[in-house]
Structure 1
Amino acid sequence: MTETDQAATGRRDRKKRQTRAALTAAALRLVAERGLEHVTVEEISEAADVSSRTFFNYFTCKDEALTDDPALDSAPVVRRLAEAPRQVPALRAVRLALDEAIDTMQADRELWRLRLAVIAQNPALLPRLMTGSVETEQAMVAAIAARLGVDPDHGHPALVTAVAGAAFRTAMLRWAADDSRPLRAFVDEAFGAVAAGLPDPGHTS
Structure 2
Amino acid sequence: MESTVGLRERKKAATREAVHKAALNLAVEHGFEHLTVEAIADAAGISRRTFSNYFTAKEDAVLWGEEQHIKGLVLAFRARPPHEGPWQALAGAVLDRFPTEEPPDRETAIRSRLALRHPTLLARQLANHAVLETDLREAITDRGGLTPLEAGCLGAAFLASIRLAMQRWVAGDEADDPRELIMETMGAMAGVFG
Same fold (TM over 0.5): yes
Gaps of 5+ in 1: 199-205
C-alpha RMSD of the superposition: 3.0
C-alpha deviation, 1:49, in angstroms: 1.5
How far did 1:108 drift?
Answer: 6.9
- Give the alignment partner of residue 77 of structure 1, picking from 55, 59, 73: 73
Identity value in percent: 33
> Is contact 2:141–2:147 with CA below 8 Å preserved after alignment?
yes
> Which whole-Å CA distance do the structure 2 matches of 1:80 and 1:93 have between them?
9
Whether contact under 8 Å (2:109, 2:170) holds in the other structure is: yes
* 1:30 lines up with 2:26 in the alignment: yes
1:42 is the counterpart of 2:38: yes
Contact 1:80/1:97, CA 8 A, preserved across alignment: yes
Map residues 1-205 of structure 1 onto 2, 5 A cutoff.
6=3, 12-69=8-65, 71-74=68-71, 76-103=72-99, 109-126=105-122, 128-129=124-125, 132=128, 134-152=130-148, 155-177=149-171, 178-197=173-192
Change (3 A) 1:111 1:151: closer
Alignment partner of 1:179: what SS?
A: coil
Q: Which amino acid aligns with 1:184?
A: R
Pair 103,67 (structure 1): closer, same or farther in 2 beyond 3 Å: farther
Per the TM alignment, residue 160 of structure 1 is displaced from its structure 2 partner at its CA by: 0.7
The runs of at least 4 aligned residues of structure 1 exceeding 4 Å deviation read 8-14, 127-131
Cα deviation for residue 72 of structure 1 reads 1.9
| 1:82-125 deviations in Å (ceiling 9; x for gaps) | 34344423222122223343349x65722222222211211443
Gapped runs of 5+ residues in structure 2?
A: none
SS at match of 2:152: helix
**Structure whose CA Rg is larger:** 1
Q: 8 Å contact 1:72–1:130 — kept in the other structure?
A: no
